[in-house]
Amino acid sequence: MAAEFEEKLTEFAQLKPNWAGESSEAPSQANIDFLRAILIGIPPEFPLPKVRAGFNGELICTWAEHEVYATLDLDDELEVSYAMKNMEYSTTYENTQNADEMRELILKRLRKVSQRIKT
């Protein structure tokens, strides 16, 4: 995993409550560890996403390349939702604590959307 990505996860772990204003929540360590576990196995042909912390403690990953736009939101209860766009927009919600399973779902969808663009 890229050093800059690991550095970003370390920054998230250091956030305190109210970091982005009153009532904002810091991402939980469990959430940060789950994201690390998901992304550590992403093959090199897929770049690591841009990651940011949300106001409610969720971690938001964004892959954006050409017409492919994908987001992965991990909330504090380890529920994952993701949306992908390629001429259409859809949101899928998954609830799993299995990082390998979630990684495969994400890669499957990224490959599918990428294939549509190539054809």
Where residue 35 falls (left for φ over 0; alpha for ψ -120 to 50; beta otherwise) is alpha
Task: HSE, CB side, 13 Å, CA atoms: give it for residue 49.
Answer: 28
Nearest to 60 by CA among 8, 4, 95: 8
Query: If you ran DSSP here, which 8-state letter would residue 77 be given?
Result: T
What range defines the domain where residue 73 resides? 3-118
In degrees, to the nearest 5, what angle opens at C-alpha 74 toward C-alphas 101 and 27? 130
* Number of domains composing the chain: 1
Q: How confident is the model at residue 20 (pLDDT cuts 50, 70, 90)?
A: very high
* Prediction pTM value: 0.74
Q: What is the pLDDT of residues 50-97, one digit of tens each?
A: 888 989 888 888 877 655 566 667 776 666 666 666 545 555 556 667
Q: What is the pLDDT of residues 65-76, one digit of tens each?
A: 655 566 667 776
**Is 8:14 a contact under the CB 8 Å cutoff?**
no
Q: What is the pLDDT of residue 73?
A: 72
Q: What is the pLDDT of residue 77?
A: 64
